[in-house]
């Protein structure tokens, strides 16, 4: 039972470390996958050093399962969860990161960050108690870094006072609709704010708007790029007159997903601060 607990705790810790790096890297899976790969390589090298000591085969197998396989399992699970690895008739690499059509809310992000803090602390404690040598230092440094970064992310999220879904309708984003996300909502799906299944609703990005000192709003952006006159009166969405970043709507394109930061200036209009293309 202790072996199973140790394996699972290490795997979960490695996964959460990768996930936090994933968030820091603007949801690009390549960076955390490289970090996990290097971590796995170091653990394998350390195990090979242990193997040279001439231990019993049974102990070598147990050591391999506890030191190497948790990182391998975390790497495979993370790569699959982020779309960097697809499982079909055969395992193959995806050509581009998979973007979920669901909204990852502030509440969900907080839960992930609290879990990452817990995982980082467990990983640091496990490394301190059960790991020796160079890997102990690596695990402690990375785990504590995850804890500090997660705390910083929680502080950033605490400054976001408003969260909405914004839906553009029309080939030129002619009409704008909004859906308020209630505090404590874990996840929002497209069917929560648009129930007409005759049209494709594409996620095109996320906008973070600095509206004042330490006050932010977060908009999850979707686009129904059609020339049809869709009846929106029966939808949970509400008409929205305009946006502070109205002049920058061309930044968001079909088949691409961007993370964009805006800052509202004295005129009430927003200036583009940063734009990151995820897909």
Q: Which helix (H) or strand (E) holds 90?
A: none
Q: What is the pLDDT of residue 232?
A: 92
Local confidence pLDDT in tens for the 279 residues of the chain: 567 777 887 787 788 778 777 877 767 788 888 888 888 898 888 888 878 877 788 888 888 888 889 889 988 888 887 776 655 544 444 444 556 788 989 999 898 888 888 878 887 887 788 766 666 787 788 788 888 888 988 998 999 999 999 999 999 999 999 999 999 999 899 999 999 999 999 999 999 999 888 789 999 999 999 999 899 999 999 999 889 999 999 999 988 899 999 999 978 899 999 998 887
Question: Which pLDDT score, from 0 to 100, does residue 173 have?
Answer: 94
Question: Quick one: pLDDT at residue 92?
Answer: 44
pLDDT of res. 241: 86
Instruction: Report residue 201 as tokens.
Output: 């609703």
This prediction's pTM: 0.73
Beta bridge partners of 167: 177, 222
Residues 155-181 as b/e (b if ≥16 CB within 10 A, e otherwise) read eeeeeeeebbbbbbbbeebebbbbbeb
Domains of the chain are: 2-157 (no CATH), 160-277 (3.90.79)
pLDDT at 235: 94
For residue 24, give both structure tokens. Answer: 């820091």
């Amino acid at each position: 039972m202790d072996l199973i607990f140790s394996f699972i705790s290490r795997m979960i810790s490695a996964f959460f470390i990768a996930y936090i790096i994933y968030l820091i890297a603007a949801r690009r899976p390549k960076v955390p996958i490289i970090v996990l790969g290097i971590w796995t390589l170091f653990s394998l090298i350390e195990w090979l050093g242990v193997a040279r000591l001439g231990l019993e085969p049974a102990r070598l197998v147990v050591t391999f399962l506890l030191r190497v396989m948790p990182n391998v399992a975390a790497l495979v699970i993370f790569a699959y969860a982020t779309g960097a690895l697809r499982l079909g008739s055969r395992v193959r690499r995806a050509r581009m990161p998979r973007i979920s059509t669901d909204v990852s809310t502030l509440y969900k992000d907080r839960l992930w960050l609290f879990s990452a803090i817990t995982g980082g602390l467990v990983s640091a404690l496990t490394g301190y108690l059960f790991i020796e040598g160079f890997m102990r230092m690596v695990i402690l440094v990375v785990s504590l870094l995850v804890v500090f970064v997660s705390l910083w992310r929680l502080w950033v999220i605490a400054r976001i006072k408003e969260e909405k879904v914004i839906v553009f309708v029309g080939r030129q984003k002619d009409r704008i609709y909004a859906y308020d996300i209630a505090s404590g909502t874990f996840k929002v799906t497209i069917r929560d704010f648009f129930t007409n299944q005759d049209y494709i609703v594409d996620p095109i990005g996320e906008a973070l708007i600095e509206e004042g000192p330490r006050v932010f709003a977060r908009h999850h952006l979707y686009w129904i790029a059609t020339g049809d006159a869709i009846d929106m009166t029966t939808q949970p969405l509400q008409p929205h007159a305009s946006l502070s970043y109205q002049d920058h709507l061309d930044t968001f394109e079909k088949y691409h997903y961007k993370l964009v930061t805006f800052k509202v200036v004295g005129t009430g209009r927003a200036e583009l601060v940063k734009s990151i293309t995820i897909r």
